[in-house]
Structure 1
Amino acid sequence: MKDTLVVEGGPLVVTPDGSRDLPAVAAARRAEIEERLTAHGAVLFRGFDVASAEEFARFGEAVSPQQLDYVYRSTPRSAVTDGVFTTTEYPAEQEIPLHCENAYQRTWPLKLAFCCLVPATTGGETPLADLRTVTAALDPALLERFATRGVRYTRHYRPYIDIPWQVVFQTETREGVAAYCAEHDIDHTWLDDTTLRTAQTSQGVATHPRTGERVLFNQAHLFHVSNLPPETARGLLSLYGEERLPRNASYGDGTPLAPEDLAAVRRAFADAAVAFPWETGDVLLVDNMRMAHGRRPFTGPRRVVASLMAPSG
């Protein structure tokens, strides 16, 4: 494998120096790949023969024996093959802010992998941001509040608003929801025949298991109502009030999050962002506690799939 940097602060680019069979290379050189991932936070495999979701799934199995399902979902996705999902199915003109996968949950994948099967005609990059840089840019007092209080995520599921509870919990029954919530310490209440409320308090910061670095690790900046366009936020507030918004976030003790603090978090992510253009067959391996990721708007038929690996707990 040959190494280069495509952009400063971005992933380490690895190209073939022999075999182009990426799953076979990953299986044979797994320890080397792990070292590169720890050192750089993201590794981009380029120029290998990866032309299908099935070949990408083989790579995931070679890198990590533990593949995660996507339950307690926050965005719409579809299963493609075993252990492989579409990336978030939001409209092409919409930007997906930088975030760490499943950071709103108490357990999360330590690794992510993305595979570009069809690049966008324009745009569609998957920007990355080093969490160490993001964390260092924030007021230490804000980080301490996140660390000591955690973040509480409150969601309301209604027909035709946001994604249905059946999709979120991957079940068609209330009993299935109750069982999942009990197992994962999620409060849940049926407010009426069609409205479900859930709430869970999770971490605000977390410690990287390999490097020992403490980093910002939550999705308060995504769940909070201030993340919505102002017109949308006003409309939802007028319909449901702050207590019954489709999704919102507070500190774990119920204290409101200051919009200016969340604006500072978003600025820190934006300032740390780096991006590279996708090429057909690219595979990107990401340390989920070192690098945040997002999606730029795009035109054309972009098809990027993803895999979640190595549960944190």
Structure 2
Amino acid sequence: MREKLTIEGGPAVLTPSGTRDLPEALAEHREEAETRLTEHGAVLFRGFDMTTAEDFAGFGRAVSAARLDYTYRSTPRSTVTDGVFTTTEYPADQEIALHCENAYQRTWPLKLAFFCQTPATTGGETPLADLRKVTAALAPDLLDRFETRGVRYVRHYRPHIDLPWQTVFQTDSRQGVAAYCVAHGIDHTWLDDTVLRTAQTSQGVAYHPRTGERVHFNQAHLFHGSNLPAETARALTSLYGSDGLPRNATYGDGTPLATEDLVAVRAAFAAAQVTFPWERGDVLLVDNMRMSHGRRPYTGPRKVLATLMDSYAPGRGSEGEAPDHPAGS
């Protein structure tokens, strides 16, 4: 592989210098690819023979033997093949805000990858934002509050509102939900025969296991009621009350999050974002604790797939190994 160019503030771009079989090329140039991933936070593989979901699954296996399922879901997705999912299935005219994958959970993938099987006719980029820049743009006292208090995510599952609990937990069994919640430290209560409420306190910041850097790492800016369009927020609050919204976030001790702080978080992500146009067959490998990602609105038949790799939990590290700098230390 050879480095074609680097997108300023974004991924390094690696193209074929010999074989066009990406898993084979990766096996031959793994150290180079890992170095670029560490330097840039993301690597875009372009010009390789990548056509099908099975091709992409082969790439995932070449990168990591520890690919992850997508449980305790936040957005609608579909399984395509072994370890490969669609990206979030929101309508094409909606933008998906920048975020780190599963940052609302206590365990998350260290790496994820995207495969552009069909680029959009217009738009549809996957913007990235370097968490170093995002974190540096936030007030230190806000980061300290996130670190000491964490973030509590409260969700209400009702018929025909947001995702059903069966989709989120990937089970039709209430016993299955209970078992998952107990195993993952999630409080859960059935408010009546159809309404489930869950609450979990997770980290507000995290420490990168290789570099030891503290980074802003949560999804409070997505779950908080201020992320809803004003009209939608008023309607849902009128129906269910401020304590019964489909999703909301507070500090871990229940203290409300200041809207102006979340405005600052969203502004920090926006200021750091970079974009590039997808090309058919592109594969983007992302360090999930270095780069956030999102989605721009689009037209046309866009198809981008995803795979999650290398489960990480602060204090246990990747695949059970202790990290160099545990989160919260």
Q: Same fold (TM over 0.5)?
A: yes
Q: Distance in 2 between matches of 1:26 and 1:155?
A: 41
**Structure 1 letter corresponding to 2:70:** Y
Counterpart CA distance in 2 for 1:229 and 1:83 is 34
> How well do the aligned residues superpose, as a CA RMSD in angstroms?
0.7
- Output the CA distance in 2 between the equivalents of 1:38 and 1:222: 27
Once the two structures are superposed, residues 53-112 of structure 1 have per-residue CA deviations (whole angstroms, 9 ceiling, x without a partner) of 100000010011100000000000000000000000000000000000000000000001
Alpha-carbon distance in structure 2 between the residues aligned to 1:67 and 1:184: 19
For 1:217, the aligned partner's letter is F
Name the aligned partner's letter for residue 182 of structure 2: A
Q: Secondary structure at the match of 1:243?
A: coil
The amino acid of 1:199's aligned partner reads: A
State how 1:15-34 maps to structure 2 within 5 Å. Answer: 15-34=15-34
Match of 1:196, as an amino acid?
Answer: L
Q: TM-score, normalised by structure 1?
A: 0.99
Partner of 2:157: 157
Q: Residue 259 of structure 2 corresponds to which residue in structure 1?
A: 259
SS of alignment partner, residue 112 of structure 1: strand
Q: Residue 7 of structure 2 contacts residue 13 of structure 2 at CA under 8 Å; is this kept in 1?
A: no
CA distance in 1 between partners of 2:78 and 2:296 (Å)? 20
Structure 1 counterpart of 2:260, which letter? E
Structure 2 match to 1:73: 73
Residues 118 and 302 in structure 1, CA contact (< 8 A), matched pair in contact too: yes
* Displacement of 1:180: 0.2
- CA distance, structure 2, for counterparts of residue 11 and residue 296 of structure 1: 17
Any idea what SS the aligned residue of 1:62 has? helix
CA distance in 2, matches of 1:5, 1:310: 27
Q: Which residue of 2 aligns with 1:237?
A: 237
- Aligned match of 1:193: 193
Q: Which amino acid aligns with 2:308?
A: L
The within-5 A match list for 1:93-242 is: 93-242=93-242
**Distance across 1 between alignment mates of 2:28 and 2:243:** 53
TM-superposed deviation, 1:32? 2.3
2:45 corresponding residue in structure 1? 45
CA distance in 1, matches of 2:5, 2:261: 33
Q: Is the 2:127–2:274 contact (alpha carbons within 8 Å) kept by the matching residues of 1? A: yes
User: Hey, which bits of structure 1, 4+ residues long, moved more than 4 A?
Assistant: none
Q: For residues 299 and 6 of structure 2, what CA distance do their matches in structure 1 show?
A: 23
State the one-letter code of the partner of 1:86.
T
Matched residues in 2 for 1:81 and 1:35: separation? Answer: 29
Instruction: Give the Å deviation of 1:6.
Output: 4.5
Q: State the one-letter code of the partner of 1:210.
A: R
2:10: which partner in 1? 10
Contact 1:2 1:17 in 2 (8 A): yes
Q: Which residue identity does 1:232 align to in structure 2? A: T
Q: Distance in 2 between matches of 1:25 and 1:273?
A: 29
Aligned to 2:295: 295
8 A contact 1:10–1:42 mirrored in 2: yes
CA contact (8 A) 2:119 2:280 kept: yes
Question: Matched residues in 1 for 2:199 and 2:73: separation?
Answer: 14
Task: State whether residues 156 and 196 of structure 2, in contact with CA within 8 Å, keep that contact through their aligned partners in structure 1.
Answer: yes
Question: 1:177-230 CA deviation, whole Å, 9 max, x = no partner?
Answer: 000000001000000000000000000000000111000000000000000110
Unaligned runs of 5+ in 2: 314-329
Q: Distance in 2 between matches of 1:148 and 1:4?
A: 43
Structure 1: distance between partners of 2:72 and 2:31? 32
* Conservation of the 8 A alpha-carbon contact between 1:135 and 1:216: yes
Whether the 8 Å CA contact 1:6–1:276 is kept in 2: the answer is no
Could you say what secondary structure the match of 2:43 adopts?
A: strand
Aligned length: 313
Aligned position for 1:274: 274
- CA displacement 1:133-173 (0-9 Å, x = unmatched): 00000011100000000000000000000000000000001
Q: Report if aligned partners of 2:116, 2:278 keep a CA contact under 8 Å in 1.
A: yes
> 3-state SS of the aligned residue for 1:54?
helix
Cα drift, residue 31 of structure 1: 2.7
